[in-house]
Amino acid sequence: MITTPLVITGIAAVSSAGVGIELLEAAVRTGRCCLQPVPAEILGQEGDEWAPVSAFRVADFMPPLKARKFDRCSQFAIAAAGMALKDAGIDMAGLDPTRVGTVLGCGFGGITNSEEFLRGYFTGGVNGLAPMLFPNTVPNAAASNASIELGFKGPNVTMIQRFCSAESALFMAQRILEQDRADVMLVGGVDEITPVVLKGFKALGQLRTGGYGRGFGEGAGILVLEREDHAMRRGARVRARLAGVSTIGQLLPGMEREGLARLEAGTSHASLVSFSGVAADRGELRGLVSGIPCLDTGALFGRSLAMGGIAMVAHLLVLGPGTTGVHLAASPEGPWYSARFEGVSPDSK
């Protein structure tokens, strides 16, 4: 239950559809699938798919020399956060930076830098380690680097919770705003996918039917979540309202009905449902929204542990004014999340 009115005033995405929300929206509305074959030389086999962000050029967002010190995840996060601020009409010079924070979901973090860092150790011992790489090997690097570059000094948290990492971030950002610890929170998810990760999934048997590593994607999806009173004071355009976030850990035997009841609030009135993680594969969740138009962004842009950020941005892009949308996310073993959004007129303030 939302105890303080919260609104979404900005959104941004870096996805396999392209850089920016316009390309993402066009792909969603036309149903364009951005998955592509994984080159056979990477896995030694054909028939696998992934969704890399091939159009991203970091030089469009920062000088190349500066970009070199950031891992790819951090580059995605900095770019998307900057675009989200612009979409929200926020100039950090006019805000108290201690009242602006971020919570990002992240699965693998800067896996490319981690690979390079560890390779140095395994091939050259302690002397082969590159200290400059280490800060980018931790999953919270993306949120931290985005905060530093854009001047946020409020709460900074990274959530890692399997396929519900971005939804966990939304849940925490809601709490932070309700507790009056911030006025504005940038929230969402960021992840990258590399050949090494795919090889790992292959070794675990997770790339084919029934595996959770198939069709992986990468990118960043970020929402600007704001206390409504703060947004009104600065005359912000409101894209949507956050009506509530519900979560359960697992559907325990004998308690399935009670667990689903916690998630289904508002689904009967929804005009759109989006899925993230493995939610689209769960018959229990499909049953909750029978007869309602559904959006499975994983089938279009790939999925990963924090791709819920892109899924929620896509959801808001096609949610009509005056309608209710429900976003459902699930990890194989739990948790399960339900987020409810209310669409508003594009001119609402």
Confidence of residue 316 (pLDDT cuts 50, 70, 90): very high
Mean pLDDT of 242-268: 81
pLDDT at 125: 86
What's the rounded Cα separation, in Å, for the pair 116 and 120? 6
Lowest pLDDT segment from 47-61, 118-132, 134-148, 329-343 = 118-132
What's the rounded Cα separation, in Å, for the pair 235 and 229? 10
Six token digits for residue 138: 């931790």
Structural domain includes residue 78: yes
- Shared domain check, 98 and 51: yes
- In this model, does residue 278 exceed pLDDT 70? yes
Last residue of a domain, one of 233, 253, 269: 233
Confidence of residue 128 (pLDDT cuts 50, 70, 90): confident
- Shared domain check, 284 and 166: no
Asked if 142 contacts 106 with a C-beta cutoff of 8 angstroms, the reply is yes
Q: What is the CATH number of the domain that holds 257?
A: 3.40.47.10
Sorted by sequence, the CB contacts under 8 Å of residue 5 that are 6+ apart come out as 227, 228, 229, 241
Identify the domain containing residue 308 by its residue range. Answer: 240-343
Looking at the chain, how many residues does it have? 349
Six token digits for residue 142: 């993306």
pLDDT at 324: 93
What is the SS3 string spanning 133-144?
A: HHHHCCCCHHHH
CB atoms within 10 A of CB 349: 12
- In this model, does residue 144 exceed pLDDT 70? yes
- Shared domain check, 160 and 264: no
- In this model, does residue 107 exceed pLDDT 90? no
Structural domain includes residue 254: yes
- In this model, does residue 347 exceed pLDDT 70? no
Sorted by sequence, the CB contacts under 8 Å of residue 270 that are 6+ apart come out as 289, 292, 323, 324, 325, 326, 340
- Shared domain check, 88 and 156: yes
pLDDT at 1: 65
Q: Is the peptide bond before 335 cis (omega within 30 degrees of 0)?
A: yes
CA dihedral 37, 39, 40, 46 (to 10 degrees): 0
Tell me the CA distances in angstroms from 137 to 114, 119, 120, 164, one per residue in order: 5, 13, 13, 21
Helix axes 21-30, 308-318, angle to 10 degrees: 70
Tell me how many domains the chain contains.
2
Reported as a single tens digit per residue, the pLDDT across 211-240 is: 777 788 999 999 999 999 999 999 999 999
- Shared domain check, 79 and 16: yes
Asked if 226 contacts 236 with a C-beta cutoff of 8 angstroms, the reply is yes
Confidence of residue 310 (pLDDT cuts 50, 70, 90): very high
Q: Which of 46-50, 67-71, 117-121, 153-157 has the highest mean pLDDT?
A: 153-157
pLDDT at 119: 81
β-sheet bridge partners, residue 14: 19, 220
- Shared domain check, 293 and 148: no
Structural domain includes residue 348: no
pLDDT at 210: 67
Give the closest residue to 312 by CA, choosing from 33, 97, 21, 62. 21
What's the rounded Cα separation, in Å, for the pair 21 and 15? 9
Global confidence as pTM: 0.93
Tell me the CA distances in angstroms from 113 to 121, 135, 212, one per residue in order: 13, 9, 24
Last residue of a domain, one of 186, 212, 233: 233
Lowest pLDDT segment from 98-112, 243-257, 258-272 = 258-272
Asked if 264 contacts 285 with a C-beta cutoff of 8 angstroms, the reply is no
